[in-house]
Amino acid sequence: MLEAEGLGLSYGDKYIFNSLDLSIPKGKITVFIGSNGCGKSTLLRSMARLLKPQNGTVMLDGTDISRMATKEIARKLAILPQGPIAPDGLTVLQLVKQGRYPYQSWLRQWSREDERIVREALEATGMSGLSEQSVDSLSGGQRQRAWIAMTLAQQTPIILLDEPTTYLDMTHQIEVLDLLYEMNRRDDRTIVMVLHDINLACRYADHIVAIRAGQIEAEGKPGEVIDEQLIEKVFRLKCEIIPDPLYGTPLCIPYTNCSLKAVKEVLRR
């Protein structure tokens, strides 16, 4: 269970967010949406203790994370930052093995169980066949799957991902989101991520959190919260919301007066 209570964070004298409360539903997929610079990534990073908030607390299973050992947090919560970079020549297998780092110490060295967990993570992400390839030689989608395999090997009930689909083409975006969906439904892992594509967010999220200027504008099931007014407020964009013909989830069709006028002129001819 992951919660933020009265969270406040600022850079210099500029507030990113101020007394923000949020509770992440357990075993669900939660997606943060919002325009660039609204604070959604900052919020995600604070909830994963990568940033230290000035005010308020992040509670993990009822304990303030600032009072927990970082290693202990790493066994309960995995974070995949945006655009992670693997050292040159690091193989997929070596990368995924690092996921076992929070379980190792002087007393507890590499074990058979670690080996098994790493193998399972590779299988679950379809990376078994590529395990000896170096990460930098992979395509964008494969690379992201390798990183997700690493977070899987961390065996945490909660996984946070900061824009896991950035820089990926449509096919690979879907591939990554399907993988996360499967991890959620099959292993009951709580997933929290930042996404830029509202339509994909609506399709995959159980719980959507719309953030504007460091405030939570709305949260809930995509079908219940996403409407024209919210999108206009959060993204400053006019749009038409229709039900997705395949999934029934909200589908956002943005428009501007400028482009509409152009289209009407073409139609008139």
Partner 1 sequence: MKIIYLIVPLVVLAGVVVCSVAFGVTDIPIGTVWESIIHYNASNEHLIIRTTRIPRALIAAAVGACLAIAGAVMQVLTRNPIASPSTLGVNAGAAFFIMLCGLSLGISGQQAFTWVALIGAALSGGIVFLLGSIGRDGMTPVKITLAGASMSAFFASLTQGLMLTNGKMFDQILAWLVGSVAGREMSQLEAVWPYMAAGMAIALLLSRHLNVLAMGDDMAQGLGQSPGRTKAFGAASVILLAGGSVAVAGPIAFVGIIIPHIVRYLVGTDYRWILPCSAVFGAILLVAADLGSRYIAMPKEVPVGVMTAIMGVPFFVYIARKGRRTS
Residues in contact with partner 1 by the rule CB under 8 A: 11, 45, 48-50, 69-75, 78-81, 84-91, 94-95, 98-99, 101-102, 104, 154
57 vs 104 by CB, closer to partner 1? 104
Give the shortest CB-7-to-partner 1 separation in angstroms.
18
CA distance 43 to 9: 9
Nearest to 174 by CA among 137, 150, 203: 203
25 vs 84 by CB, closer to partner 1? 84
Burial group, residue 3, by CB count within 10 angstroms (0-12, 13-18, 19+): middle
Give the shortest CB-71-to-partner 1 separation in angstroms.
4
37 vs 254 by CB, closer to partner 1? 37
Give the shortest CB-220-to-partner 1 separation in angstroms.
28
Give the shortest CB-239-to-partner 1 separation in angstroms.
34
74 vs 218 by CB, closer to partner 1? 74
Give the shortest CB-157-to-partner 1 separation in angstroms.
15
28 vs 75 by CB, closer to partner 1? 75
CB contact burial 57-85 (16+ within 10 A = b; e otherwise): bbbbeeeebeebeeeebbebbbbbbeeee
Give the shortest CB-126-to-partner 1 separation in angstroms.
22
CB contact burial 189-208 (16+ within 10 A = b; e otherwise): bbbbbbbebbbbbbbbbebb
115 vs 232 by CB, closer to partner 1? 115
125 vs 249 by CB, closer to partner 1? 125
Q: How far is CA 229 from CA 211, 226, 236, in A?
A: 14, 8, 10
Give the shortest CB-198-to-partner 1 separation in angstroms.
26
Q: How far is CA 32 from CA 78, 194, 197, 235, in A?
A: 17, 5, 11, 13
CA distance 32 to 215: 12
Contact 86, 138 (CB under 8 A): no
